[in-house]
Amino acid sequence: MTRTLDPRDLPLWHDARSFLDVRSNDVHTLVAYGLARALCAEHPQADPAVVLPAILLHDVGWKTVDPALLSKAVGPNATHPELVRVHEVEGVKIARDILERHRPAGIDTAQVLAIIDTHDTVKTATSLNDAMVKDADKCWRFTPHGVATIAAWFAEGQAETLDMLEDFVMPSMLTDAGRAMARGFIVAARAQMEAGDYLKGTHNV
Ligand SMILES: [Fe+2]
Ligand SMILES: [Fe+2]
């Protein structure tokens, strides 16, 4: 069995943890890391030594944002969307500190930091590694943890959250593999939600 984190990245995780205890970012990071690893398995040209440290450290900057404003930074009714850029800029500083402390062998620090710097505010990818990180980050939203977390942020139900993700997030996925994973999470969640009705024979159509 392969555990979620590559042993090479455990010292980075150890240092990142104290920056990830807001907004469920710790579990978000672990799930997104696993998804990034799965995406890299589908894309042999991607470099896991860039993609995995980048996804591990991409959201450390949220720790610097006032907790009272976190929920106002994202979503259709965000009143502080500028904080998305703040978490990227501050995240680069924190990630640089962590990477310089450990200097992990074989990791291209400049490329990792460049990916973190634009992971949310730039929707297109400048490289395959960048696309892996962006799609893993987005694909988390479709997972059980992502759907539950987002539904709670916006006080919506699971079904409405899945519809919103399908309509507004799915079209922005950058890779076929990322889209396929996201679609897989959606159909599995819907089937599980509808199973009771089908089993009882109370479904409408
Ligand atoms: Fe982010
Ligand atoms: Fe993220």
**pLDDT single digits (tens) 25-69:** 999 999 999 999 999 999 999 999 999 999 999 999 999 999 888
Query: pTM for this structure?
Result: 0.96
Q: How many CB atoms lie within 10 A of CB 74?
A: 18
Q: Tell me, in angstroms, the distance from the centre of ligand 1 to residue 39's CA.
A: 18
- Under 8 Å between Cβ of 135 and 178: yes
8 Å CB contact between 182 and 139? yes
Measured in Å, residue 141 CA sits from the centre of ligand 2 at 9
> How far away, in angstroms, is 134 Cα from ligand 1 center?
9
Neighbours of ion ligand 1 (CB under 5 A): 59, 120
CA of 204 relative to ligand 2 center, distance in Å: 38
Q: In this model, does residue 76 exceed pLDDT 80?
A: no
How many angstroms does the Cα of residue 197 sit away from the middle of ligand 1? 37
The fourth-level CATH superfamily of domain 7-200 is Hypothetical protein af1432 (1.10.3210.10)
Ligand nearest to the CA of 89: 1
pLDDT at 181 (0 to 100): 98
d(CA 121, CA 124): 9
Query: pLDDT value at position 191?
Result: 97
Domain ranges of the chain: 7-200
Residue 173 predicted with pLDDT over 90: yes
For residue 55, give the ligand nearest its CA.
2
Structure tokens at 124: 């297109």
